[in-house]
Amino acid sequence: MLGQELQEKLEAVEQRYLELQYKLSSAEVLLDREKLTKLGKELKELEEVYEAYKGYKKLLQELEQARELLKSEELRELAKEEVERLAQELEKAEKKLRVLLLPKDPRDSKNVILEIRAGVGGEEAALFVADLLHMYQKYAEEKGWRFSLLSSNRTGLGGYKEVVALIEGEGAYSRLKFESGVHRVQRVPVTEAGGRIHTSTATVAVLPETDEREIQIDPKDLKVETFRASGAGGQYVNTTETAVRITHLPTGISVSCQDERSQFQNRQKALKILYARLKDFYERQKEEEIAKERKQQVGTGERSEKIRTYNFPQNRVTDHRINLTLYRLQEVLEGKLEDIVQSLVEHHIEEKLKALA
């Protein structure tokens, strides 16, 4: 059964939802566009909890009625089955309500700045970055999200030393936030003549896109440099200085963009990445001040942590944080990531529920 504190929260949600419905039908609110939008948004945010609580109360009522039927000799056997079924349904409904009342991550609805960098393994690591980029792009397509490159640093064999992309779509950060960490690949590289299996790594960072209003940057703290864009292998492919490098002097965080043809476009993209990196930097700094050890629900979230292995000889993908292994590597690399993502989300929720209990 739901505890008193949880029951009170749910009743407060129900009361507020009904109050908002009443207000939204009033002439005063209907004539005030700003208030109408604000209250409409709040109503939508409460709707799922309200409907789930309404369903829970209906099940509770049906269970009480079924228990009453146990007193009847003629209907006792049927009533027993119904009581058992309703008790199971009620247990599921209770769990759903607990999950819905968990504190929300305000960043969950945001778009994602995805950064992938080659780690150990030279050219093979750079090729692995290209594989991961392809995987996330395909996953974004599966989810109906928009995927666009912001910055890239290609190598001669078609890999990337570093690549940054923007993923835009409802709930992008909520689904991808557990991808941050070190991804490891085990396979025979195309550069290996002897057929030996090598282990290479790439680092993935998933940052919520940051609005310029969320973080204040003094223009004096930015050092902006321009240079000619270069292609794979370092050869210059542009005779004009369209590439841009922006450095935030107080933190030393630097971003370069050269993929666009105009300096203005490269500058805008660089600023987008810089805002996200700075927000992430300051948030991490704040968390470290609050507690030296960050206790996250799925691993530590640190980018130095090896979170997943992609083993080509065994057609295997293993996520080490939740001991999940799938023997369909090629499907995963083609964007069929949902089983892994959903398992991570569910594990995260279970850990949060345990912590609250």
CA separation for the pair 270, 264 (Å, rounded): 10
112-292+301-350: CATH number: 3.30.70.1660
- Please tell me the predicted confidence (pLDDT) of residue 304: 52
> What's the predicted TM-score (pTM) here?
0.76
Instruction: Give the DSSP letter of residue 165.
Output: E
Q: Are 247 and 253 in contact, with CB atoms under 8 Å apart?
A: yes
Length of the chain equals 357
Q: What is the pLDDT of residue 93?
A: 93
Residue with tokens 């999940």: 324
Q: For the chain, which residues score pLDDT lower than 50? A: 292-303
pLDDT at residue 301 in the model: 37
Is residue 315 a contact partner of residue 297, using CB atoms and an 8 Å limit? Answer: no
What does the pLDDT read at residue 216?
83
H helices of 202-262, in order, are none
Q: What is the pLDDT of residue 239?
A: 53
Q: Are residues 175 and 345 in contact, defined by beta-carbon separation less than 8 angstroms?
A: yes
Q: What is the layout of strands, in order, in the sheet containing 181-187?
A: 146-154, 160-168, 112-118, 198-208, 181-187, 306-311, 316-319, 324-326
